[in-house]
Chains A and B, each alone.
Chain A
Amino acid sequence: MIRTIIKTSASLGAAALMATTAFAGDLVINFDDPNPGPKAGFEAAVEAFKKAHPDVNVTVNINDREAHKTAIRNFLSAEAPDVTSWYPGNRMAPFVNAGLFEDISDMWASDPNLSTSFEAIKPTMTMNGKQWGVPYSYYQWGIYYRKDIFDKLGLSEPKTWDELLSACGKMKEAGVTPFTIGTKFLWTAAGVFDYLNLRTNGYEVHNDLTAGKIKYTDDKIRATFAKWEEMLDKCSFVNNHATMSWQDAIAPFANGDAAMYVMGNFAVDGFKNAGLTADQIDYFPFPEITKDLPRAEEAPADAFFIPSRAKNKEDARKFLAFIARPEIQSEWNKTIGQLPPNSKAEVGDDKFIQEGFQTVSTAAGLAQFYDRDAPAEMAKAGMEGFQQFMTDPSKLEEILTKLDEVQAKVYQ
């Protein structure tokens, strides 16, 4: 008893001493995911960092994702942390352009790990020819399906568009709705659009469209929508999708009413929570539409950035270099069930991670996501258009014209 008291008071004294002497080593990190898995992964990485750098006094703020999206606008220009989580692609553009993120190109050039093991994802972190952050995780998108239903109907994973359509036909005959989706929050529809567009027209067109270089009334985009109409017709989606969130849309999938879901890998957790076992679900990449088109995938990344108003940039850089290490990235992504961007890191042995890694590492290009690649105003209008199209395909002309108008305004 007495011993513990002495011990604690000694350690308290030591802590007080550290706090005063190591004032320069305060490192404040803002993170944006309080869900149990992501939080555990992040905290483990921070603990490892503390062990490796005992002189740095780390403070962690974990905020709700939506709250973080609003708060970051304020804290970057006011009381900035030393490191903050955020998304690459166009989502970082406003902060990069306002000079609120620190340019860390020198780190990307000099750090032996960052300069060699992140080739695939480097373009995503690059804007105006410079690198702005370090990714710690990314995940694949694709079609998640009920393997038990496929087995019952004697279906195999479709590789091409025609195979997908005929599989859908068989499902409908058996009274199964091919796809579930919840478009209340819009972005799920963008996932479907992105894949149809990537498979119909390829990576370049996706980038040109989100960069405002081609119009929505362009024949290429019309071709994408034509495929979508075919999909709505032959591979129907669940009814009432506009009133459901992506979590709500798991219900028909779990009940066996719907057999497929175009989703990101984070949804697997939701499937399992809804009572499905790993044997009942499986994954296949979105099938080919245009023959021999180089296959690009959606693989949104999560990253850390240093605000340019950070007080302790030196330790912030140490932290970014630390989380880029292969062993840290392996551990972290095993915890959260995602893919490590570091090519030397180990991939978890979960089957979805393995398949996802296969899909993503062999892809010809990685898209972030419609709402991360396109500017915010365009993304909002585009996704509303997608939802509208899904509920009423006859409005296509009206939607495309509207999107052209928005595009002309946004990219002027």
Chain B
Amino acid sequence: MTATPAVPVNAADGPNRQSSWLRRNRIKVAPWLFLAPALIFFFVYVIVPIIRSISISFYKWDGLYQADGTSNAEWVGLQNYINLFSDDRFYTALYNNVLWLVLFMLAVPIGLGIALFLNQTVTGMRFYKSMFFFPFVISQVVVGLIYGWFYNPDFGVVGSLWKLAFCEEVVNIVGNLRTVCSVDPPAVLESEDYATFAIIVAGLWPQIAYCMILYLTGLNNVSPDQIEAGRLDNAKGWRMLWYVIIPQLRPATFIAVVVTVIGALRSFDMIAIMTRGGPGDGSTTVLAYYMYEVSIGEYGGRFGYGSAIATVLFLIMLVYISYFLFRMYQDEKGQ
């Protein structure tokens, strides 16, 4: 209150030297003050855990402290990493992660396709759009459950359709109905070869919805004059899409790719719900799930090893994050 007129008058002989320093440097200080809350949280919840996790990866630790508070951890150097490279399941997880990354990218073109299809003015379009967007709103866990039932060979959609074709109902020994099939229905989640693909398909469902909504907003910003100009130059169909529309959707494409990569790398919930990393020798495990299973899962308690997996996953993400930051930096510079 009193400060407004007092600034120039009392600057020299002010009672508070600090405030004068602050005043002199406020242009420099202000951004840091605004950044401080975010920086503190970023440091405490992101940087510190990363450092802790990397340091734990050099120990053999069951996650417990002794009664007097000393940790049970035992320094083993690079042993966890050495074990990792001779661990078959680590390679399975890595391979599945790559599979997720590659196949998850399908969400981008499919999302674009649905967005183009929905980008028209028909009565009730908003309703259809929101129905298409619906799977993204529900929790991944619920999607996992729904697909788990969908694939179920006994009572799921897949099983029921199969039964129409190959099965008949017979009365069993106690008088209840029982289905007998000439060819057994496919149990995709039980098959080591197909389970991962089945989960990726389930994961694509909400991811496509997400990409679709990104493209729908992108399509709103496509400039009509350019389309008009394209028309005059006799562009239609694929050529119109490829040379006129898609270049204008570049920002949306970029975001769609980013969120899809993130979605693929954190594919944890559905695996946990649908197969728990199984069947067989961890055939659907990805790095994130393996890390959980080894450290805090029911038969886990190997925090050092889990941290080593986490570190590898972090390094993989780092490649991608660096590229992302580089792109951002380039864009900023270009403006």
Contact = CB atoms under 8 A, between A and B. Distances in A.
Interface string A270-308: 000000000000000000000000000000000000001
A152 B171 CA distance: 15
A1 interface: no
Contact of B172 (A70, A175, A309, A384): A175
Interface string B270-284: 000001101111100
A77 B280 contact: no
Contacts of A174: 173
A377 B180 CA distance: 39
28 contacts: A69-B298, A70-B296, A94-B301, A99-B67, A100-B64, A100-B66, A146-B174, A149-B173, A149-B174, A175-B172, A176-B173, A185-B276, A242-B189, A242-B190, A243-B148, A243-B153, A243-B187, A256-B173, A256-B174, A256-B178, A376-B301, A379-B299, A380-B299, A384-B280, A388-B280, A391-B190, A391-B280, A409-B83
B182 interface: no
Contacts of B296: 70
Interface string A222-258: 0000000000000000011011000000010001110
B302 interface: yes
Q: Which of A153, A185, A388, A409 has the most CB of B within 10 A?
A: A388
A94 B172 contact: no
Interface in A93-143: 94-95, 98-100
A404 interface: no
A371 interface: yes
B65 A152 contact: no
Q: Which of A69, A149, A242, A371 has the most CB of B within 10 A?
A: A242
Contact of A98 (B66, B153, B189): B66
B152 A257 contact: no
Contacts of A175: 170, 172-173, 178, 180
Contact of B64 (A69, A94, A242): A94
Given A239-B187, A391-B280, A100 B172 contact: no
Interface in B292-309: 293, 296-302
B269 interface: no
A100 B66 CA distance: 6
A351 interface: no
A176 B172 contact: yes
B228 interface: no
A387 B66 CA distance: 36
Given A148-B174, A239-B153, A243-B152, A184 B276 contact: yes
Interface in B228-286: 275-276, 278-282
Interface string A381-410: 000110110011000000000100000010
A73 interface: yes
Given A69-B298, A149-B173, A380-B297, 17 more contacts: A98-B65, A98-B67, A99-B66, A100-B64, A152-B174, A176-B173, A184-B275, A185-B276, A242-B190, A242-B279, A243-B189, A255-B174, A257-B176, A308-B67, A377-B301, A380-B293, A391-B280
B260 to A, nearest CB: 28
Interface in B36-87: 62-67, 69, 72, 83
Contacts of B276: 184-185
A77 B65 contact: yes
Interface string A143-185: 0001011001100000000000000000000111000000011
Interface of A: 66, 69-70, 73, 76-77, 94-95, 98-100, 146, 148-149, 152-153, 174-176, 184-186, 239-240, 242-243, 251, 255-257, 308-309, 371, 376-377, 379-380, 384-385, 387-388, 391-392, 402, 409
A243 B278 CA distance: 10
Summarize B's interface: helix, strand, loop or mixed: loop
B279 A240 contact: no
A380 B175 CA distance: 40
A355 B155 CA distance: 35
B168 interface: no
A186 B189 CA distance: 15
Contacts of B83: 409
A380 B279 CA distance: 13
A256 B67 contact: no
A376 B299 contact: yes
Nearest to A374: B299
Nearest to A409: B83
Nearest to B305: A377
Contacts of A402: 281
Interface in B6-42: none
Contacts of A384: 278, 280-282
Nearest to B178: A257
B67 A243 contact: no
Nearest to A308: B67
Contacts of B282: 384
Contacts of A149: 173-174
Contacts of B302: 377
A387 B276 CA distance: 13
Given A255-B178, A256-B172, A240 B65 contact: no
B86 to A, nearest CB: 9
A371 to B, nearest CB: 7
A95 B176 contact: no
Contact of B184 (A176, A239, A388): A239
A70 B154 CA distance: 33
Interface in B129-181: 148, 151-154, 170, 172-176, 178, 180
A132 to B, nearest CB: 13
Contacts of A379: 299
A100 B71 CA distance: 12
A184 B273 CA distance: 11
Contacts of B172: 175-176, 255-257
Contacts of B170: 175
Given A98-B62, A152-B173, A256-B172, A240 B187 contact: yes
A240 B62 contact: no
Contacts of A380: 293, 297, 299
Nearest to B302: A377
Contacts of A391: 190, 279-280
Nearest to B156: A243
A309 B276 CA distance: 34
Contact of A95 (B64, B278, B299): B64
B57 to A, nearest CB: 17
Nearest to A176: B173
